[in-house]
Amino acid sequence: MTNEPMIDLQDATKKYDDGPPALAGVSLSVAAGECVAILGHSGSGKSTLLNLVAGLDKPSSGTVTVNGTRVDQLGEAGSAKYRRASIGMIFQFFNLLDDLTVLDNVMVPAQLAGMGRLEVKRRAIELLTSLGIDRHAKAYPQRLSGGQRQRVAVARALMNRPALLLADEPTGALDSRSAEDVRRLLLDLNDEGQTILLVTHDIQLAANTARRTIELVDGAVARDVVNTVSGATSNSSAGASR
């Protein structure tokens, strides 16, 4: 783990229409190699924060910097290229493309980046093998279990060797066994140095997976704690909300 900030939000605010802000002046930083959980109830602003970091949305004010890139200043094409190069995303409902095989699904990000087909295929098979689902390479996602689908989604997210992995409720649609399987996978990835931002409303998942938990309430950071042991937390010193 290094002290270099991977994610840096400064006074980030996001407003939709005339209602209260979805994010209200959030400032936080995440160091490279950290696994941070964003915890909060529905409507707390955690998905908005994830969208800002992923370049899927722009803040109404404030700055969002990821891996040295001012994400809030990128245009549509720039955001796409940024996601392609720096971000891997996994979702609650997997968001796999139903009409593509597992292998083809995993290959998509690299193909969009213009990598050669053989190289892409080699890398995809390597990932599927490492995640233990290579025997399903030619299957279609609908024939896999929830856990297997999420592993495919993880493989796809890692395809372009992203600096940051964003996980949006990655176990929300899984049974407990599959959820534990995915949780362990995320832990393993983090152990290997992968920076992970995990968005969830599941306190247990946050505590058992992330080294640090940031809780959002009404669009603002309510708590920023370091998870000392599994299921327990203590106040954070470095990288806390400012």
81 binds another protein (CB under 8 A): yes
Find the binder of another protein among 17, 76, 229, 230 (CB under 8 A). Answer: 76
Q: Work out how close the CB of 208 gets to another protein at its nearest, in angstroms, rounded to a whole number.
A: 26
91 binds another protein (CB under 8 A): yes
CA angle 35, 39, 45 (to 5 degrees): 115
Give the x-and-dash track for 31-60 against another protein (CB under 8 A): ----------------x---x--x-xx---
69 binds another protein (CB under 8 A): no
CA angle 124, 165, 39 (to 5 degrees): 145
178: Cβ contacts below 8 Å, ≥ 6 apart: 145, 146, 147, 150, 171
Closer residue to another protein in complex, CB, 173/187: 173
Find the binder of another protein among 17, 18, 42, 114 (CB under 8 A). Answer: 114
160 binds another protein (CB under 8 A): yes
70, 72, 82, 103 from 79: Cα distances, Å = 10, 9, 5, 25
73 binds another protein (CB under 8 A): no
The number of beta carbons lying within 10 Å of the beta carbon of residue 62 is: 18
156 binds another protein (CB under 8 A): yes
- Amino acid in position 130: S
Q: Work out how close the CB of 111 gets to another protein at its nearest, in angstroms, rounded to a whole number.
A: 4
| In the block, residue with structure tokens 């992970």 | 196
How many Å from the N-terminal Cα to the C-terminal Cα in the chain? Answer: 21
Find the binder of another protein among 95, 134, 211, 240 (CB under 8 A). Answer: 95
140 binds another protein (CB under 8 A): yes
Q: Work out how close the CB of 205 gets to another protein at its nearest, in angstroms, rounded to a whole number.
A: 21
Give the torsion sign (CA, 33, 181, 91, 172). Answer: negative
CA distance 191 to 184: 10
Q: Work out how close the CB of 192 gets to another protein at its nearest, in angstroms, rounded to a whole number.
A: 22
151 binds another protein (CB under 8 A): no
DSSP letter for 73, please. G
Contact 158, 152 (CB under 8 A): no
CA distance 86 to 195: 11
101 binds another protein (CB under 8 A): yes
Closer residue to another protein in complex, CB, 216/226: 216
100 binds another protein (CB under 8 A): yes
Which residues of the shown chain bind another protein in the complex (CB under 8 A)? 47, 51, 54, 56-57, 76-77, 80-81, 83-85, 89, 91, 93, 95-101, 104, 108-109, 111-114, 140, 156, 160
